[in-house]
Structure 1
């Protein structure tokens, strides 16, 4: 009896991998999702949160996950930037509001554990084309010919026409496909946690620009916020070892009274900051999704939003290939995916890198340029609106036809219609 075969296999069950699996299923593919056993996953909970923009929220709605997530999320109605660099020229405080750009909200802040749970529930819902294969890991990936062959740690093997590698920065799928990367390090680490406070956040996310890097608070339901505090690695590790009282005092000082007194603090974690970009996002039957293809510092809430746009774009490429009777894992499909993702990923990496390095730089001209930029954003409303649209991603001011369908309202219907229309166009 031969091995089982499926249209697509997804390696990795984080938010981006789950979205890729569900998106490919909505595109008409039968999908096998390789995921760790639920008992194992629950023993190592992800305490981080994700600030997701409107396009990502539309994707979650189209994938059937948003109704479970919404009660645990908090809207971000404004973004405040405070210059705390101590530079000779202190830039003015700048506040971007969603309303001035015509948005209900910039996005919503969601606990990662809630996000993963809701997406996993959608994968197991009636009518889903996703089959969850619980495994301790994929240990073998053989690429060649018309099918990829995957082997689990338990010895089970199966075949797929397309492999979506959502297996993180040390991706085995990327290595198997022979895709090289460019990597770099920052002299920084991010401390993440959530905390209660006595003053309301008023649905405002605040970013303090400091010489060691940004310190960002993002609203959670009630009088709670998530925190990403970037420091030199030894300082971040030292903060993580403080008792809650000492850490709360240090945080109150850094927040300059913005949120009042600091209350209950969840366990803290520290992550070194680094960057990575793949030379190609698709090759040899493998499409890279999320941190398998790109890693950036947690600045401007770009990382997971990029990964979810990967998932939405891959779904559209798969839908188009299936509608045309083409190979969803073939070179043409993967070239299309790579072409569509490259500009978005490259521009986000460059923007975040420049902003982060401008904080680390001791050069006066760099600080002057950053300060004058913030003055311009505070003074000129049209420039501020442009910055908002660019920050929220490629759907800001592009034609809906240029945006992956699953990032738009009623995206499942649009996905089918676009694939059908392009199929008829190519046949004519």
Structure 2
């Protein structure tokens, strides 16, 4: 992807070149639209092994999109299929409840429920796919410091004084977006007073592609299978306890980790650095303004309890690219407000409903109240006995329900 000065004119100015921003640029290019992507960090910074220790569970519909965009071949050998998901409840000392919920991908087809890929390798794959796409211009490091919108277009001002004229400003710069505030879009939400601890472990026995979601009183303890005999842990704790855990030396931290992990995969050893992330809910009151569309974390940040945060943002990408490509194909203005309103309406229910579901699940399972624990254990077991409900949950987690954009069905926008 050529790193050259921004052209004066482009179809879409994308503020933020993370996973959502780069995915949007590729999708727009397939739909016949050019973009200029501006990101605060250089590619070599965001693809460094020490930049981001997280992995993402890419839903199978998102994997279809990445195949359609030509991204998948660049990450396939780093992707671990998710064959099964086991959901259990319990305590650190008491272990897991005998009542649990099991999702087996074979119930809904041959396609895995998704793939686990390290965020670093997702970014590397996106850069590789975009490298030779002439419709994409990357400015990184750089920053969109302001913009002005008119009924005919938008002009973004960069930190170095350059101006980029476009039909749309797509804001993909994350939860703390300054451009969102400039657009007059407010957010609602709250802190969970929880911290997500992320690290990688090596284990003795093969995981067979089984992801574990172990609900403990302080929050979920997710064991996510990676390539080889490795797993990524997303360990949710109350913030005050998380701070104490992160301050432990290597031996004591490993002991606390093993107490929660158990021995079902044999000997377990932390092999990577520790990262931590504060957890909160944040939803924008609207996803659009005049000549502005919010995408990804700029529009919504949810609890990682179901591993759906990135998938939610990539569903934004697929929807926005499609409505803009359709408008272009009809000879209409792809950045006009009626085009953006179609995008907002398409994404509104999915965003609000998933935010509500993850919020309720976190509150229901992040406590140690006896009667509540009994109800949720029985609920997990009952859901596991109802095959239609179980299959619906799997399809929903895979992003394969509702009115899907073309890319999430695996179809090209160029067709």
TM over 0.5: yes
Q: CA deviation at 1:201?
A: 1.1
Task: Please tell me whether residue 243 in structure 1 is matched to residue 249 in structure 2.
Answer: yes
Q: CA deviation at 1:85?
A: 4.2
Task: Please tell me whether residue 69 in structure 1 is matched to residue 75 in structure 2.
Answer: yes
Task: Please tell me whether residue 259 in structure 1 is matched to residue 265 in structure 2.
Answer: yes
For 1:41, the equivalent position in structure 2 comes to 46
Alignment partner for residue 134 of structure 1, among 137, 140, 153? Answer: 140
Task: Please tell me whether residue 229 in structure 1 is matched to residue 265 in structure 2.
Answer: no
Aligned pairs for 1:218-367 within 5 A: 218-361=224-367, 363-367=369-373
Distance in structure 2 (CA, Å) of the matches to 1:53 and 1:404: 14
Deviation per residue, 1:310-367 (Å, 9 max, x gap): 1011110111110122221111011000000001111111111110000234555543
Task: Please tell me whether residue 102 in structure 1 is matched to residue 74 in structure 2.
Answer: no
Distance in structure 2 (CA, Å) of the matches to 1:228 and 1:373: 24
Closer, same or farther in 2 for the Cα pair 1:237/1:131, shift >3 Å? same
Deviation per residue, 1:155-211 (Å, 9 max, x gap): 221111111110001112211221111121102110011111112111100011111
Distance in structure 2 (CA, Å) of the matches to 1:268 and 1:3: 41
Q: Which shifted more, 256-265 or 266-275?
A: 256-265
Q: Which shifted more, 209-218 or 373-382?
A: 373-382
Task: Please tell me whether residue 115 in structure 1 is matched to residue 115 in structure 2.
Answer: no
Q: CA deviation at 1:416?
A: 3.8
* Residues 124 and 131 in structure 1, CA contact (< 8 A), matched pair in contact too: no
Closer, same or farther in 2 for the Cα pair 1:52/1:30, shift >3 Å? same
Structure 1 alignment gaps of length 5 or more: 418-428
RMSD value, Cα: 2.0
Task: Please tell me whether residue 93 in structure 1 is matched to residue 100 in structure 2.
Answer: yes
* Residues 142 and 176 in structure 1, CA contact (< 8 A), matched pair in contact too: no
* Residues 47 and 124 in structure 2, CA contact (< 8 A), matched pair in contact too: no
* Residues 79 and 97 in structure 1, CA contact (< 8 A), matched pair in contact too: yes
* Residues 58 and 114 in structure 2, CA contact (< 8 A), matched pair in contact too: yes
For 2:27, the equivalent position in structure 1 comes to 23
Deviation per residue, 1:246-302 (Å, 9 max, x gap): 222221111121222222421111111101111111221111111000001111111
Distance in structure 1 (CA, Å) of the matches to 2:288 and 2:85: 35
Closer, same or farther in 2 for the Cα pair 1:304/1:42, shift >3 Å? closer
Closer, same or farther in 2 for the Cα pair 1:81/1:152, shift >3 Å? same
For 1:425, the equivalent position in structure 2 comes to none
Structure 2 alignment gaps of length 5 or more: 1-5
Distance in structure 1 (CA, Å) of the matches to 2:145 and 2:77: 38
TM-score normalised over the length of structure 2: 0.93
Give SS of 1:52's match: strand
Give SS of 2:185's match: coil
TM-score normalised over the length of structure 1: 0.90
Q: CA deviation at 1:96?
A: 0.8
For 1:213, the equivalent position in structure 2 comes to 219
Task: Please tell me whether residue 155 in structure 1 is matched to residue 156 in structure 2.
Answer: no
Alignment partner for residue 375 of structure 1, among 373, 381, 388? Answer: 381
Q: How many residues align?
A: 406
Distance in structure 2 (CA, Å) of the matches to 1:128 and 1:90: 55
Give SS of 1:83's match: strand
Distance in structure 2 (CA, Å) of the matches to 1:263 and 1:167: 35
